[in-house]
Amino acid sequence: MDAMDYASDTRTMKKWRVVRFDLHVNPAFDERLKREPSIELRVAPVPRSDAEVGAALAGADVYHVSSARNEMANFAFVTEALLQRNPSLLWVSTYGAGYDSVDVEACTRAGVAVMNQAGANRHSVAEHAICLMLSVAHRIGESDRRLRSDRGFTREDLMGHEIRGLILGLVGIGQVGTEVARMAQAFGLQVLATDPYVDAAEIRRRGAEPVSFDSLLARSDIVSLHCPRDPSTVGMMGAAQYARMKKGAYFVSTARGGIHDETALAEALGSGHLKGAGLDVWQPEPPPLDHPLLALPNVVATYHTAGVTHEARRNIAVMGSEQIVQAVRGEKPPRLVNPEVWPAFRARFERKGA
């Protein structure tokens, strides 16, 4: 095809409309989509009402939505009602690995394919999880705060522990959990894992000993969450689960707020049953300043920043934009959250693209 034929073809080809709201996205996302002649990208202001969401998504084929539920109001979430109001949607794409702002079952019923960016930030999140384990065990947060505000204490007052030789229990051994398992072995940790979606042989291949959830809680010196937030995991860690953990164990989460009960965790830490916690995720985010966990010296707290590094954000932008390009070409996205939707989705895609 010569240049003139190509120019004519691009003027007549189907244009797929991609919409995202004006939240922080690495420039690589917009740059890639703008190079694709079949894609029209719209960046809309962060909505303040249902009406503004509807206006932004009018005629949209792809909705690229925030994965973090506290970045936008609930009316911008992908719900059954939003899908009914926007029947043109074919794809929902998330900003990251999570998809707790998306009703996946409603999307499947509507024939809408859901794509996430699983694995794009796995190195950053895994590093952060290991950092939280080290920080809480070595009492780095406590030392930092006391050194800035107090005198008259000794170094022995802040004596911590090595993590070498401890047992690490991973709740979930997907992309991030597998990376944590690999890093943990370098620190001399024995790694256990439980994951209902991964068989025992694969868990071993990923570097961990497969165990039940109850056994993991009872045996681990550190319990670290790496599972998605969904109906099966919300409230998974509560008072009963903390009580099953070893006395003096540590709890770490870089997963999602709401999977662990924050009030029960504060009680387990305050009573001395658990020795410390490293928390990157909260419900809501950020937590209120008077949150009881923030008052405890043995808690290291971060603001859902495990996957928010320059490298991870670029990886997510590249992966997300490439998946959208693949999708509008009719290819099956490699990170399709609801693969069971594919037959119904294909029928809708072919009708719309014809």
Q: Phi and psi dihedrals of 101, rounded to 5?
A: -95, 5
Whether 238 is covered by a domain: the verdict is yes
DSSP assignments along 61-82, one per residue: SEEEE-S-TTSS-GGGSB-HHH
Whether 5 is covered by a domain: the verdict is no
Model pLDDT, residue 274: 98
223/344 same-domain check: no
Specify whether 256 is catalytic. yes
Whether 6 is covered by a domain: the verdict is no
Round to whole Å and give the CA distance between 192 and 217.
10
89/19 same-domain check: yes
191/239 same-domain check: yes
- Of the candidates 256, 313, 335, 348, the residue annotated as catalytic is 256
Handedness of CA 225, 160, 163, 166 (dihedral sign): negative
Round to whole Å and give the CA distance between 101 and 116.
11
Tens-level pLDDT at each residue, the chain (354 residues) = 343 343 344 445 689 999 999 999 999 999 999 999 999 999 999 999 999 999 999 999 999 999 877 788 899 999 999 999 999 999 999 998 889 899 999 999 999 999 999 999 999 999 999 999 999 999 999 999 999 999 999 999 999 999 999 999 999 999 999 999 999 999 999 999 999 999 999 999 999 999 999 999 999 999 999 999 988 999 999 999 999 999 999 999 999 999 999 999 999 999 999 999 999 999 999 999 999 999 999 999 999 999 999 999 999 999 999 999 999 999 999 999 999 999 999 999 999 875
- Cis (ω within 30 of 0) for the bond into 286? yes
- Of the candidates 304, 313, 335, 348, the residue annotated as catalytic is 304
29/148 same-domain check: no
> What are the tens digits of pLDDT across the range 38-85?
999 999 999 999 999 999 999 999 999 998 777 888 999 999 999 999
State the total domains in the chain: 2
Round to whole Å and give the CA distance between 158 and 49.
50
Whether 1 is covered by a domain: the verdict is no
- What Å distances lie between residue 154 and 142, 147, 158, 159, CA to CA? 13, 11, 7, 9
Round to whole Å and give the CA distance between 47 and 54.
9
Model pLDDT, residue 69: 76
Q: Classify each residue of 49-78 as buried b or exposed e, where b means 16 or more C-beta atoms within 10 Å of its C-beta.
A: eeebbeebbeebbbbbbbbbbebbeebbbb
Specify whether 285 is catalytic. yes
Model pLDDT, residue 163: 98
Whether 150 is covered by a domain: the verdict is yes
- In 3D space, the residue among 115, 123, 252 whose CA is nearest the CA of residue 176 turns out to be 123
Specify whether 128 is catalytic. no
Q: Phi and psi dihedrals of 237, rounded to 5?
A: -105, 105
180/272 same-domain check: yes
In terms of residue numbers, what domain contains 246?
122-301
DSSP character for 347? H
What CATH number does the domain containing 38 carry? 3.40.50.720
Model pLDDT, residue 98: 86
